[in-house]
Structures are given as structure tokens and as C-alpha cells.
Structure 1
Amino acid sequence: MSHSPFDPVSASSITARRPVSLAGQVTLFGLSRFVFNISLRMVYPFLAFFARGLGVDLYAISSVITYRSLGGILTPFITPIADRYGRKTGMLLGVGLFVLGSLAILIWPVYPVFVLTLCLHSLGVFIFAPSIQAYISDHVPYFQRGRVLALVEISWAASFFAGIPLVGLLFETYGWFAVFPILAVLSIIVFVVVLSVVPADAPDGARGQAASLLDGARQIVASKAAVAALLMGLLYNIANDVFGVVFGVWLEDSFGLKIAALGAASAVIGIAELGGESLTAGWVDRIGKQRAIFIGLTANCLVSLALPFLGRSLPGALVGLFLFYISYEITVVSSMPIVTEIVPGARATMLGLNVAALSAGRGVGAFLSARLFTSFGIWANLLAALLFDVLAIAALSQIRMDAHGQQTGEKPV
């Protein structure tokens, strides 16, 4: 008999007075991520607007992105809390940091506090997301997990389509500060709802053994598949950002249509993200996670080869951009269920290390991107993306898991 991944959580695992179905909890997680993702995504399109509002130059405001990314490095030191004290504790800690950041900017709306706010928002999301992924993984079988995780990830694309236009309207009407009181109120609501709705969960014996980052890291390092998964995430994120950081400059230089081209490119990326997440939700559990990742990486390689030729016209460049980002999104979302199952005894720790690997990949990609582009042109960026994708495929070949999440070729950790 088949079971839906949204069957209610078993009564034995619920300590709350009013049990809520897993479907309801997943809906809560998706809506919460939608709110939090708005903070992560609004900086890029409104960078100059924030600079004017805060009275700083573009260099100072762009440095916020660098400071914010440091949260990814700190994540592995905090996410073991969700292994030791339960997933709900990790969720509440993440939301609490987001609330704290939102309240700080309300009290003192100046540039240093703005930096602090965005850093706390980022760190909060980096803790909240692995905690909910670990929670879902505790309750949804591996062979159905890809669809559920992908449905939650749709909030990333939705925050672009629905959230950013609303933020723009708020900014235009009330100024740069207008979004933060709303984020504060919404994040407090999320905290209260998570506290009330998500059942408390005590770590089982296996998770209790991974009581610290060091204990969890030992389990992870002992698994060749886990190390390969982290390396794969690092590599495909380098591939994405080594091109993604400079695509706007490339479009501007190539076509001289800064506003039109970049506006269209932003819409194309949003459509690609939604398409990639929706496709992954529909097929990843049926065709297999590793196969879906291989398809995504191979498609990204082919697009990297084709983009110099497609980029001879603006429509061709936008088509190439769409294909590049949809293949990347398929790769990222398809890898999530694998990361959740490789070391189930240190699941949240593994997810935290994965966040750090992805953040490091973005940092390396950003570092290489401008240097390659200014020295050699966009073909060098795309060649580098191809190289890192091929290396990611090599790392993928070291991950062997069956349809139920059991590792083949090495003992499960």
C-alpha cells in the first residue's frame, strides 16, 4: 500500500496539544521561508536604493553582501543544536535571530545596524532552513522526500515573483525603511506559530551521538559519500557564480541595453528558478536523485558550451540564461534529499556543513568571476563553469545510494 508523504505525523511523535498534519507543517515552512527569503533577495535589485537611503556609497553597501555570506561559514557550528536538542529548537533559534535583526534596525536605522540586521537575517535563515529540512527528513521516507523538499524550495522563486515587487512598491511609497517593520511583525508571527504548531522532538539514540560539531563531523568524514556530496555542492556553486556574478555586465557590454536587458534577465532567472523547482518536485523521486543531478549538471555543461554562440543576440542570450539557471536549480534541489540522508545520525550537522560548502562555492565563484571576465571575456567564465561542472559530476560518481537512501559500496553511518 502506498503512502502519501503528507500523511499526518504519527501520534507517538507529537507532544503538542493540537496535532497538525505534516502537510500543514510543510505549508508553514514554505510560507516562513517565503518571508525570510525576501530579506535575502531584496538587497541585489535595490542595492543603490539602500545606499542612497543610508547615505553611503555603493562600495559600502555592496560590502554588506560579503559580510552576510560569512553567516554560511558559522552555520556548521550552530546547526548541531538541532541534532542535540531537536529540530524545533533549531527552527526557533533561526527565527529568533531573524526577529532580533528585524527589531535592531527599528531601534537604530543606521548603516552599521543595517549590516548587523542583514547578517542576523542571513544567519537565522541558514539555521532555520537546515532545521526544517532535517525535520522533514525525519518524517518523510527518502523515496518520497525529494518532492516535499522541492515544494518548500518553491518559496525561493515565489519570494522573487511576489515578494520583491511588493518591496519595490513599499520602497517607492514609504522609503527604504518600510519593509523592516513588516518583516519584524511577520517573523514574530512565524516564531509564535512554530512554537505552537511544530511538535517538540527529542533526539533519538543515533542523533544523540552527534551532540557536537566535532562528533557529527567525525561521522561525516568517515563517509566517502558525505564528503563527495559536500565537494559536489562546492563545485557546482563555483560553476554557477563564476558566470552568474558577471552576466549582467556581459549583457550590458554586449547589447548596451542595461535597464531592458537586466530587467528581462531578472524575470528570466525567476522563471527558471520556478521551473527548476517545479520540475524537480514532479520527477526527482521517480527518476532517482543521482540521475536528476546528473541531468542538471550535464545540461549546465552543454549550456556553458552553447552560451557564447547563443549570446550573439539578446533573445539568444536570454534563452541561454534561462537554460543555465533552470539546469542549476534542478541540480541544487535534487541534491537536497541526498544530503539529508547520507549521515542520518548527524543530519542537521551535515546540512549545516552543506550550507558552508555552498557559501564557500559562491565566494570562490565571485572571486574568480570578475578576474576571468576582465582578463579574457565571458568565454573564460563559461569555460570555468564547464570545468567545475565536470568536477562536480566526478564527485557525484562517488555517491551511491539506492531508492530508499541506503548507501551501496560503503557501510551506512
Structure 2
Amino acid sequence: MKNHSLKFQTLLFAAIRTVFNTAYRMVYPFLSVFSRGLGVDISALSQALANRSLIGALGPFLAAIADRRGRKTGMVFGMGLFIIGVGVMVFWPSYPAFIIMLILTALGKYGFDPSMQAYLGDKVPYQNRGKNLAITEMGWSFSFLLGIPLASFLIVRLGWRSPFVALVLLGTIAGGVLIWAIPNDTVSKKERANIWHNFGKVFRYPPALAGLLVGLTASTANETINLVFGVWMENAFELKIIALGGTAAVIGLAELGGEALVGGIVDRLGKARAVNIGLLLNCGVALVFPLLGRSAAGAIIGLFLFYITFEFTLVSIIPMMTEIVPEARATLMAFNVAALSLGRAAGALIALPLYSWGIAASAGATVVFNLIAILALRRVQKELG
């Protein structure tokens, strides 16, 4: 099979992740639409979404396929789970099918992403890796800027089931191109380590644990503000932030801006150094929140700066993590996803109690968690140089 150019493969990965992330993110803005279509209470769908976050814990077991059977196998397996998941909603539009869809698409995402990141980690030298991985991460912001508006258009014109039909078609096409464009990569029996052996490589290696701690605490810091930002705005201006015109676009553009910055400068700056800069900038934005909150315009600026600095940090973490345990690369990347999910869950637990003391308490906690991440980063920097 022809080994297609790495540039084409990277763009393909970005397109595939746009499809994955559209399915993942579109549920939130259209929750009431799906609730009416399925004939169930919105609280039932909300509970199903909460349970989806637990699926991240299974990611390392799925990603181990890529370390044992090859990166292409891991990606195709994840793609297959995704297609089956959205397909269930097309042929059996019901609440049980919705739950199955959430589970399978999440499992597909958690199987595909680490396998893809490990593939690029294998193919691209570390000093140039940031740009390629940042391009694939644009699939996250593109899903918000392109995928969700398209889903909205389809729902208005063709009904609430139509986005799932489109996702099946796009997923099937993308899966076919993936099989054609990515060369087979087999893992020899000698290199095919037991899944628990790969887990041991991660958990017995201090720099790997430190890297996971960076992601966990950084995502906790972000969620501490992210969860209460709208409440704070409602209290300060007697309106919800989501009601302000253009806020959704501001968030999407901030995410895209963070990803573009990583693609442009992270390889020159150095991955760990970029993470450090992103954490410090995110601390700075959190500290000036009370000042920015004096006007709606200031709050929008604060929202943009908070999201762009966090996205810059998060996307810089990914290429850094791909080099820590190369022999169990996909497994570590899956644990990184799990750590980010755990961090968001921890942030969600403490966000509202902290906010009861005011936005200054939330900002202070954000700074504390970011500083813990910076301390953990020092151990990673010693390993990577």
C-alpha cells in the first residue's frame, strides 16, 4: 500500500476528529431537542451524559490495542465503534439507543485519539511533533465552529435524527479513507507486551506520573472557573453569559487560537516550556477576573483569554506526553485522557463550594492547581531536557 504523505494523514486525522467531536459536543446545545424527539425527560439525558464521563476510565484498555496490534488497528477499531454508535441512533431512535450511542462514540473517541497520537509520535521527530498534533487538535474547535452549526441546519430542515445520518455517512467515508491512507503497521510478538506490562511501564516511571499530574491539575484548575463562569456573570450582570451575542463564537475562536498558537510556536519554544508559559498565563487571567468582571465587555475578554491560555496549555501537553514512554506511547496517551477527565470531575466537585466564597476564591484555587501542575512539570522537564 502506498505510504501517503504525512501532511495528508495529519489533515485526515483533523477531519476525522472533527466528526468525532461533533458527535461528542452537539448533545449539549441540542439536549432539549433530543429530549423531545426521544420522548424522555431532559434529566434522563443529563444523567446519561454524566455517566459518559466515566467511560474515559476504559480508554487505557482500548489504547493498549494500538501498542499490541499496531496504531492503524487501534484507529480503525475506534472508528468502527463510532460508526456503530451513531448508526444505532439512525436505525433505532430510542432512549436505550441514545445511551448506546453515547457509550460507543465515547469509546471510539478514546480508542482513536491515543492511537492517532501514538502514530504521529512514531512518525514525526519530537522537535517537530507539536505542529502536527496541534493540527489534529483543531478538530475540537472545528466541531464547535463548523460541526454544530451544520447539525443545527440539518435539525431545522430535516428533523432531529438527521445529524446522526450525516455522522454515519461521514464516519463511513472517513473510515474508508483511513484504511486506504494509513499503511499497515504490525507489532512483532517480541514487542507485543502484555497490557499489564505496559500499565506498569507508566505507573513505575516517575516522569510519566508527573506528566499525568500536570494534565490532571491543569484541567481541575480550568473546571474550577469554567463551571461557575456563567453563574458569576448572571450574578454580576443579571444575565447569563451564554445569552450574550457571539459568546459561542468567542469560545470557539479562543480554542482555535490556542491550537493555532501551539502549531506555530511550540516546536521552537519547546513543549515543556510552552506548557509552563500557558499555565502561568492562565494563572494571570484568573487573578484579573474580578477586575474584568466590572463590565460585560471585560467579561467576554476574560472568557476569551481564559479559554485561549488553557487550550494552549492543553494542546502543548499532548506532544510533550508522547515522548515520555515511547515503548508504551498509546497506553500513556490514553492515561493522559483519563487524567484530564478525572481533573474535570474533581474541578466540578469543588467549583460550586469554592464559588460560595466568591469569584476570588475560585480564581485562587485555579492558581493553586496550576502551580501544582508547574511543580510536577519540573520533573518532566528533567526527563525531556
Tell me which interval the TM-score lies in, with the shorter structure as reference length.
over 0.9
The percent identity for this pair of structures is 48
**Counterpart pick for 1:380 among 361, 367, 372:** 361
Q: Which residue of 2 is the match for residue 240 of structure 1? A: 222
**Counterpart pick for 1:31 among 15, 18, 35:** 15
Is the deviation greater in 341-350 or in 36-45? 36-45
- CA displacement 1:101-141 (0-9 Å, x = unmatched): 01111221111211210221111011101111100111100
CA contact (8 A) 2:69 2:192 kept: no
Q: Distance in 1 between matches of 2:274 and 2:46?
A: 35
**Counterpart pick for 2:167 among 180, 183, 205:** 183
Q: Distance in 1 between matches of 2:234 and 2:249?
A: 16
Q: Which residue of 1 is the match for residue 106 of structure 2? A: 122
**Counterpart pick for 2:377 among 382, 392, 396:** 396
Are 1:142 and 2:126 counterparts?
A: yes
CA contact (8 A) 1:248 1:262 kept: no
Are 1:210 and 2:189 counterparts?
A: no
CA contact (8 A) 1:251 1:257 kept: yes
Q: Which residue of 2 is the match for residue 86 of structure 1? A: 70
Q: Distance in 1 between matches of 2:204 and 2:92?
A: 47
Are 1:171 and 2:150 counterparts?
A: no
Is the deviation greater in 304-313 or in 249-258? 249-258
Superposed CA RMSD? 1.7
Question: What is the one-letter code of the residue matched to 1:143?
Answer: Q
Q: Which residue of 1 is the match for residue 49 of structure 2? A: 65
Are 1:256 and 2:238 counterparts?
A: yes
Q: Which residue of 1 is the match for residue 86 of structure 2? A: 102
- CA displacement 1:300-357 (0-9 Å, x = unmatched): 1111110011111111111111111111011111111111110000001001111111
Q: How much does 1:248 deviate? A: 2.0
How many residues align structurally? 385
Q: How much does 1:372 deviate? A: 2.6
Q: Distance in 1 between matches of 2:345 and 2:170?
A: 30
Q: Which residue of 2 is the match for residue 363 of structure 1? A: 345
Is the deviation greater in 99-108 or in 136-145? 99-108
Question: What is the one-letter code of the residue matched to 2:372?
Answer: L
CA contact (8 A) 2:230 2:242 kept: no
- CA displacement 1:189-241 (0-9 Å, x = unmatched): 122221222101023688x25331x1112111232111100011010011111
Where in structure 2 are there 5+ consecutive unaligned residues? none
Q: How much does 1:365 deviate? A: 1.1
- CA displacement 1:258-301 (0-9 Å, x = unmatched): 37645533221111101100011000000111111111000011
CA contact (8 A) 1:238 1:361 kept: yes
CA contact (8 A) 1:151 1:281 kept: yes
The structure-2 alpha-carbon separation of the partners of 1:262 and 1:217, relative to structure 1 and needing over 3 Å to count, comes to farther
TM-score of the superposed pair, with normalisation by structure 2: 0.96
Moved beyond 4 Å, runs of 4+: none
Where in structure 1 are there 5+ consecutive unaligned residues? 1-15, 409-413
Q: Which residue of 1 is the match for residue 182 of structure 2? A: 198
Q: Distance in 2 between matches of 1:154 and 1:194?
A: 18
Q: Which residue of 2 is the match for residue 4 of structure 1? A: none
